[in-house]
Amino acid sequence: MTVEMFSPRWYYRGTISEENQERIKKSFSKFIEEDKNFANKEEWNCNVLTSYQVPTNESADWDTFLECVRPCVTEFMEEMKPKMNLTIKPQEGWVNKYRKGHYQETHCHSVPFCNLAMVYFYQMEDKECPYFKFYNNWYPQYKASGLDDAFTIPTSCTVSPRANQGDLIIFPAHYPHMVSPNREDCERVTISANMYVMPDEELSTNSPMTS
């Protein structure tokens, strides 16, 4: 006999090809450099600079971004082994900039017609991402029960996905997640998107992303 662990939680991690990383940089570098494209959202209770719902956000080259991430989305769909033909429809995309001291509070992307979230690690100071964290919302109850102190089964309040600059992660939009403060001088930059996966009998899973 043994102790079996179970959890429905998962995330996908893929790496954008170097060619497509350069295409994204070429398409987004000027947009990212211009502060007029970013604002601090008071309702977010954090100090990250974001292009989310900023009027100029639509001027970013989102078509090129979708083309560049498509191979990873295709790989994601193949690894998830769909039970039916599906469409993944992009809903919205935005850029976040984290200067020194900037952070983002625990939140999720649970909005209508969105069940998947994507984060592309455009620029960061470390070889491996230590600051994007999934929040384990079951942990407080587990710790309060005394089981965390009693047993050596690994558990923690947050989990950082293994991700490097140029990587992309996809995860269920309802996952609580956060970004810890940037303590370095290097500006972190991520590109995020909301997506909606839905059944589509006429769509082949070989072409999983539509505009």
Confidence of residue 210 (pLDDT cuts 50, 70, 90): low
User: What pLDDT is stored for residue 207 in this prediction?
Assistant: 47
Ranges assigned E (strand) in 80-184: 86-98, 104-107, 116-123, 132-135, 158-159, 167-172, 177-179
pLDDT of residue 130: 79
Can you give the pLDDT at residue 201?
A: 60
- Which pLDDT score, from 0 to 100, does residue 203 have? 46
The structure tokens listed for 129 are 């991402």
Residue 1's pLDDT is what? Answer: 64
pLDDT score for 153: 86
Comparing 107-116, 127-136, 196-205, which segment has the lowest mean pLDDT? 196-205
CB atoms inside a 10 Å sphere around CB 118:
24
Higher pLDDT, 154 or 129: 154
pLDDT tens, position by position, 40-68: 998 999 999 999 999 999 999 999 999 99
Average pLDDT, the chain: 91
pLDDT of residue 2: 78
**C-alpha to C-alpha distance for 182 and 180, rounded to whole angstroms:** 7
Angle at 126 between CA 181 and CA 178, to 5 degrees: 35
